[in-house]
Amino acid sequence: MATNTFSEASPKEFPVVNPSATGTGRIRMNSRSRVVVTATQALVAVVVLLAWEFVPQIGSLSQWKLLDPYFISSPSRVGATLMNLLLGREGVPAVWGYLGPTFLASIIGLVIAMIVGGLMGLLLGSFEFAGAVFRPFVVALNAVPRIALIPIVVVLFGSGLQSSVVIAFMVVFFVALFNAYEGARTVEAHVRHNVRLLGASGWDLMWRVRFPYSLAWTLSSLPVAVSFAIVSVVTGEILTGVSGMGLLITAATNAADTSMTFAVIIVLSVCALLMLWIADAFKRRVLHWWIQSE
């Protein structure tokens, strides 16, 4: 499952996010139509949950594997398992001890990768020669299916927090690098000429002009980077099976406990949404000038 999710981010479509394309993201609506949309969304969610719960109970539909609660569980069972997982009762271990390492590794890997990748992208984008020399290497490295490198990382760094951090770093690094590189490289000629004629040195040009654009592009890739970090860390944990949410998923799958698998996925999703929300708030604060000028 995790491998599938991961392949969505195959190197071919590595996400160079054009921030101007994702700047606002939200469709502006008047408050009335927003209420209608929210209500309809809630309705859709309720209908799906009700169908999931009750359709398998109609006649002998549950004999069909895809509607058999043994395989697909049901909202009430998932809900009950989720509560047990959160509270650590009825023989179910509390989720926090598993969530901690996953969350921590994702964040540390993400932050280091954004900073290091961003700075390297800025350097490559600022120095035409360096950019020309290293670009093919970076593209080649980015094309490596990094999921396949996880075993090597585990051999090198063991199976603890350190290796999870390295895994997250490996994946996010190139996202940050490519976006920072594009941001720095694509500063328009007239903008560069203007500041040079106003007395900017090469150093000024890099830090005072290319850097803000690089930052805008890099931060715009943050939502993608957040999901990449979590997915890669969990994948690593599934492969090593030693700690974290990956271990919980492996254990639940081995015990054919679908309710548990779903509950773990829900916790992970909420976690990812929380991180995305923080990332978005950070972006809006730092990049108000970029978002507003759309």
Partner 1 sequence: MTHLSEFSTRPDSETGRAAGASIEFRNVGYRYPSGLHAIDGLDLSIAGGQSIGIVGPSGCGKSTVLSLIAGLREAQAGDILVRPDQSGRHLLSMVFQKDTVLPWLTVEQNVKLHYSFKKGSGERRRGLSRRAIDQRIRELIAMVHLEGFEKAYPYQLSGGMRRRVAVLTSVAAFPQILLLDEPFSAIDEPSRVAIHQDVFDIVRELGITTVLVTHDLAEAASMCDQVYIMGPRPTSVFSKHEIPFGPERDMMTLRESADFLDLYSRLWRDLHLQIDASHESESTRDDAEGSH
Is the Cα dihedral 185, 188, 193, 198 positive or negative? negative
CB of 221 to partner 1, least distance (A): 18
What residues between 131 and 190 interact with partner 1 by CB under 8 A? Answer: 188, 190
Which has the closest alpha carbon to 165: 247, 263, 244, 266?
244
> Exposure of 205 by Cβ count < 10 A (0-12 exposed, 13-18 middle, 19+ buried)?
middle
User: Of residues 4, 30, 31, 293, which one binds partner 1 by CB under 8 A?
Assistant: 293
CB of 212 to partner 1, least distance (A): 5
The CA–CA distances, whole Å, from 218 to 78, 140, 176, 187 equal 37, 20, 6, 14
How many residues interact with partner 1 (rule CB under 8 A)?
Answer: 20
Give the three-class secondary structure for 143.
helix
State both tokens at 124.
Answer: 């490559």
CB of 277 to partner 1, least distance (A): 24
What residues between 187 and 206 interact with partner 1 by CB under 8 A? Answer: 188, 190-191, 193-195, 197-201, 204
Stretch that binds partner 1, among 86-94, 126-134, 224-232, 283-291 (CB under 8 A): 283-291
Q: Residue 3 or residue 292: which is nearer to partner 1 going by CB?
A: 292
Stretch that binds partner 1, among 66-74, 89-97, 175-183, 282-290 (CB under 8 A): 282-290
Q: Which residue has the tokens 């990382």?
A: 153
Q: Residue 99 or residue 222: which is nearer to partner 1 going by CB?
A: 222
State both tokens at 130.
Answer: 């360096």
> Exposure of 127 by Cβ count < 10 A (0-12 exposed, 13-18 middle, 19+ buried)?
middle
* Contact call for residues 29 and 37 (beta carbons, < 8 A): yes
What residues between 204 and 233 interact with partner 1 by CB under 8 A? Answer: 204, 208-209, 212
Q: Which residue has the tokens 């970029």?
A: 290
Which region holds residue 52: left if phi is over 0, alpha if psi is between -120 and 50, else beta?
alpha
CB of 54 to partner 1, least distance (A): 51
Q: Residue 89 or residue 288: which is nearer to partner 1 going by CB?
A: 288
What residues between 107 and 126 interact with partner 1 by CB under 8 A? Answer: none
Q: Residue 216 or residue 245: which is nearer to partner 1 going by CB?
A: 216
The strand ranges marked E within the chain are none
Q: Going residue by residue from 27 to 66, which x/- string records binding to partner 1, judged by CB under 8 A? A: ----------------------------------------
Stretch that binds partner 1, among 54-62, 127-135, 238-246, 284-292 (CB under 8 A): 284-292
For residue 242, state whether it binds partner 1 (rule: CB under 8 A): no
The CA–CA distances, whole Å, from 46 to 40, 41, 43, 238 equal 10, 9, 5, 32
206: Cβ contacts below 8 Å, ≥ 6 apart: 122, 126, 184
* Rounded (5°) CA angle 231-237-240: 140
CB of 201 to partner 1, least distance (A): 6
List interacting residues with partner 1 (CB under 8 A).
188, 190-191, 193-195, 197-201, 204, 208-209, 212, 288-290, 292-293
